[in-house]
Structure 1
Amino acid sequence: MSKNKVDKKIDFAKILDNVRVFAPATVANMICGFDILGFAVDKPGDEVKMYRVDEPGVRIRSIEGDDGRLPLDADKNTVSACVKLLLVDLGIDKEIGVEIDLIKHMPIGSGLGSSSASTVAGLFAINALLGNPLTKEELMPYCVEGERLACGHGHADNVAPALMGGITLIRGYDPLDVIKLPVPEDLYAGIVFPQVDVPTRDARQLIKEKVLLKDAVVQWGNIAGLISGLYQSDYALISRSMHDVLIEPTRAILIPEFYEMKRIALEEGALSFGISGSGPSVVAITKGQAIAERITEKIQQHLTKNEIDSFKYVSSVNVEGPKVLL
């Protein structure tokens, strides 16, 4: 990218004056699929409002909901930087100007793909503004670049489900190969975000570079079992497959009350429970909304007793991904 011209013809007469886009939060790893599995949820998510202007270039006009933590510099903000990169590759960066309002509806550093939701919203917005010249598959590498800019590692387990919707498998990165998986109808996520700080870079640094072969075999079996369970809508198979023996034991140390939250979730009927992305958000995977509602309420009550504030979200799997808002 940035050195390769994208062979797409843009009809300037059909470029929109403005567009507003929502992109969803995501649960990366899906407990046992570190860096290769993820799914989108209905809420929370981020919004981008994009406006065509006369002066060429890409500018951030405003950012809401970030408590002043995100840069307004268009070269440093992942949303504007990726939009700029796409316009350069399209060969129209000197011919079109856009200004961006970023509205953060989700917390930064939550483990719910905050940066990926913003990046996906921005790229989906510029594509819509230009008349949708690129497919989602063609937008994907730019989304991955946004993750590299945000956290130093260009992984796709957040941006893939945020962009494609549903549950996605990253089969490989060279070349990038994203596969959409079936979504059982009653699969729900009960998410709790404890108000503690677990930076993505710090959480990733804790991960061991080498693992025992016996643990790797267990993890491979769990991933294969989970995917099989999704295809068959076999909730029992999904439940016994969603166990992480590689990453969770290390990252759980950073999340206060993790194992007590897990005990509560499993006792209340969760199919599985684990860390969303790098944390500190945790997720209970359930069959049905009512169980997810009950689990998140009880976990919040437990955290409150331990003087830990939290947010909760309950959602089915979002199969649509980003959307243009009217």
Structure 2
Amino acid sequence: MSLDPQTPFALARYREGAGTRLGLVVRDRIRPLDADELGAAGLNAFLAAPDWDRLAGLVDDAGEWMPLADVTLTAPVEPRQVLQAGANYREHVIELVAAGLTNNSDRTPEEAREFAAKMMDDRAANGEPYFFIGLPACVVGDDVSLVLPGYSDVHDWELELAIVIGRDAFRVSREDALDHVAGYTIVNDITTRDLVFRKDMKEIGTDWYRSKNAPGFLPTGPFLVPAPFVDAGDLTVQLDLNGQVMQNGSTSDLLFDIPSLISGASQTMPLLAGDLLLTGSPPGNGQHWKRFLRDADVMTGTIQGLGTQVVRCVAEVPTA
């Protein structure tokens, strides 16, 4: 594992005994960061007013550098809140809507797709982002295997670009939104498909708590890449399952771009330093392929410039 050669440095957290330490990553090596070097009491305090120039000065420092291969990385963030944007990739949503229309009306696939495309373009022009919340306790590194709960056989993947909030954001404008971004990371938003909609009372609608918040359902990282190093408007997002490409999209296909998401999410509740704001997932999840996660599956998620995470799946062991 190594950082993209085009990325000068990034932050990561790694295991040390029973705890974790914050580290500075350059290419294939890492060194610990203490509070004095960071200029802040901890990660979230630093992200509230990130001084990337301060860390740049440590890149060539003869500190305690270690090979990345010799440490165990974990989630690079400690969010207090996790917000997720739903139905935010144009092509993905067109596929879903068109499939539903084709199955439930007399429209041809071409007519259904044209209708769905017009719907999405109208939503982008006149609508608002759709958000729901996740539990920060679900955020783990890819050092933790993904345990597939035994109550379902339809656990799905959704690889996403995640915004890491810097300076607190409350009711910010779209024009000022990027001033509140500290960096970006990778999140795989795992979803149990048969729990998304309530069966006992359909009028209630979606049940994101049960479908998205089992332990470990937000594999995150491995790196937190500073915002100045990322052109987040056009990044390749790719997920491979056991070596086969399943998702391969670009953030240029977002219905609501990153400034719109930050501004929209901040209108209700302040976004705090270190919080995660997921931007949505491109086409190609398990629901599309009719193939869901199984014991021993390996998901390899890569976002251009942000590194690669490798998540290994294991079946839940029944309790006696």
Instruction: Determine if the TM-score, normalized by the shorter chain, exceeds 0.5.
Output: no
Please tell me the TM-score bracket, short chain as reference. Answer: under 0.3
Which structure: greater helix fraction?
1
